[in-house]
Amino acid sequence: MTSNSRRNFIRNTAVAGVGTSLMGPQVFTSPLPSSRAVKKIIVAGGGIAGLCAGYELMKRGHDVTVLEASGRHGGHVFTARDGLSDGLYGDYGAEHITRPGYERYWQYLNELGVEALPYPRRKNLLRQIDGKFYTEEMLSDRSVLTKMGFNLTEVDYLSKHPYWDLVSLYNKPYLDKFTDEYQPFGVGYDNMDNTPIADIYKKGGASAKALDLLGGANTSALFELWRSAILKLRGVSQFPVDVFRLKGGNQSLPTAFAKKLGDRVQLNCPIQSIQHDKAGVRVKFKWMGEPQELSADYLVNAIPPPAFRKIIVTPGFSPEKQFVLDNVQYDSYQRFVFQCSSKFWEKDKISINIEFDSPDLWSVWQSADEIDTHRVIVLGTGAGGITPQRAMAVFKENYPGATKPTVEQVVSKDWTKDGFAPTCERVHFPMGQLHKFWPEIMKPSGRIYFAGASTDNLNWGMEASTRSAYRAADEIDKA
């Protein structure tokens, strides 16, 4: 960056940063531009984490290049418009944000002037359980709950608390011991990493029905209690109902980062190899199919480990880091965008926020409702490998109202087939292995730093990305 552009940038961001002091605690305010020496940094991956890290480093006056393998930036945060009518859109990737819970993310929305809208996708949820649909009122009715098989304590609890909060009945007594959301160890539960959380529920007196609902036979008790404690420490419920999305689609934030970064973001640049030593990094990549090489002082890897494994890194990582990169696991799914000609569910006086009991189509909800048209977008999530036509058939067959869903067309993004960003959110660490993943997953390796949805404590993708990107940028800035 030239000194002139650096000055301009500092001036611009100083203005942009004015509003940030209104947001949340001090830790989530925007830092002043760094007075340290300008460093050269390559950011590998132009998803939300890579763009955020690039933006944060640029803001501090460093010389940044973001290399993205595909022809678009944003990665898994992908808002689709192609083929949809009336300016409608659908979020193929990221779903929603919470407040509180996404403090770093909200700070960037405020800083970059990106608007968030309330997203009532979890209100008045209809749940299909064993083939039958239940409203929230039904799931707080004592006779319904008793008939479903819950025991008396559970029926008492669920008649006063939401259905999704059953887990709190059993894990609440354990959570107060956690005081630092980034520290799961040393609070008295270290020996519970090999204990299934289902055993904690059983110990608390959970019924067979509750155990079936809560699962947890393969989830470490230490991990799950820590996860619940993070939510508690952030002031977030187990299933936040008041959620938000971005006006115009969730890709608006990565796009805002990319706009600030300008030509520092280079697309169609798949990285082939990374060499690193105590002095810096050297990256071999292709640009428009031609071999290129770039050297820098530091590298932020914002490519998810399953894709990062394909890049040769020399010298290799420590066994501890390699274990994390080889074993961190993500989920993946398919997002369906149903373009409908009307709000057909209103005739039936039911909610369109539905959780289906189907392996093909798991849930549907309305989105993009700020667009001025009679048409509506209903988003759906389901399994990879299913055709959109089959998902539409499942939707029509399982929809609980009398009116036929007015689906004009369905388009989808099957993330399991994506060549660059097939991964969504990190899943639970395996039983008995938390100490192998944490905090190793966050640690830099020499001059390579790590950011992305897997590299923070909670697996909520967009906030984990912005938090980890900020952390990596901050550490490099201060190095």
Partner 1 sequence: MTKYLALLSLVIIIALSSFSLYHQDNDIPVVEIIDPSNRSTVSYGSVINYRVNISDKEDGTSKYDEIQQTEVFLQLKYLPSEKDVSNYLQKEKQSEKAFILMKQNGCLNCHSLQYKLAGPSFRDIATRYGAATTTYEKLSEKIIKGSHGVWGDSQQMPPHPDLIKEDAVALARLVVQYGTDKNIDLYTGTEGTIQLRKNQNKNAAVLLLTASYLDHGIESANRKEGRAVAKIYLK
List residues binding partner 1 (CB under 8 A). 215-219, 272-273, 306, 309-312, 314, 326-332, 359-360, 383-386, 414, 416-419, 422-423, 427-428, 430
Tokens of 234: 């952030």
Nearer to partner 1, 360 or 456 (CB): 360
Q: How far apart are CA 358 and CA 354, in angstroms?
A: 11
Q: How far is the CB of 462 from partner 1 (least distance, A)?
A: 18
Q: How far is the CB of 30 from partner 1 (least distance, A)?
A: 34
Residue type, position 341, single letter: S
Nearer to partner 1, 147 or 309 (CB): 309
Nearer to partner 1, 127 or 260 (CB): 127
CB 77, CB 251: distance < 8 Å:
yes
Q: How far apart are CA 170 and CA 185, in angstroms?
A: 20
Nearer to partner 1, 30 or 301 (CB): 301
Instruction: State the sign of the Cα–Cα–Cα–Cα dihedral 353, 126, 453, 317.
Output: negative
Q: How far is the CB of 361 from partner 1 (least distance, A)?
A: 10
DSSP state of 238: S
Instruction: State the sign of the Cα–Cα–Cα–Cα dihedral 452, 455, 461, 464.
Output: negative
CB 242, CB 95: distance < 8 Å:
no
Q: How far apart are CA 51 and CA 65, in angstroms?
A: 10
Nearer to partner 1, 188 or 385 (CB): 385
Q: How far is the CB of 195 from partner 1 (least distance, A)?
A: 14
CB 44, CB 302: distance < 8 Å:
yes
Phi, psi of 17 (to 5 degrees): -80, -10
Q: Label residue 274 left, alpha or beta by phi (over 0 means left) and psi (-120 to 50 means alpha).
A: beta
Nearer to partner 1, 326 or 370 (CB): 326
Q: How far apart are CA 275 and CA 268, in angstroms?
A: 21
Nearer to partner 1, 116 or 222 (CB): 222
Nearer to partner 1, 88 or 214 (CB): 214
Count other C-beta atoms under 10 Å from residue 268's C-beta. Answer: 15
* Helices and strands in the chain: count of H runs, count of E runs: 16, 21
DSSP state of 191: G
Pick from 175, 191, 159, 146: nearest CA to 238: 175
Helix (H) or strand (E) holding 221: helix 221-234
Nearer to partner 1, 77 or 311 (CB): 311
The residue written with tokens 């008295």 in the block is 188
Q: How far is the CB of 414 from partner 1 (least distance, A)?
A: 8
Q: How far is the CB of 11 from partner 1 (least distance, A)?
A: 42
Instruction: Spell out where 269-391 has E strands.
Output: 271-276, 281-287, 290-296, 298-301, 312-314, 334-340, 354-355, 361-367, 376-382
Strands 271-276 and 265-266: unpaired
Nearer to partner 1, 81 or 428 (CB): 428
Q: How far is the CB of 272 from partner 1 (least distance, A)?
A: 5
Q: How far is the CB of 294 from partner 1 (least distance, A)?
A: 17
Q: How far is the CB of 445 from partner 1 (least distance, A)?
A: 17
Q: How far is the CB of 280 from partner 1 (least distance, A)?
A: 20
Nearer to partner 1, 216 or 380 (CB): 216
Pick from 473, 428, 431: nearest CA to 451: 473
State how far Cα 100 lies from the chain centre.
Answer: 15
Q: How far is the CB of 342 from partner 1 (least distance, A)?
A: 30
Q: How far apart are CA 90 and CA 245, in angstroms?
A: 11
Nearer to partner 1, 142 or 309 (CB): 309
DSSP state of 398: H
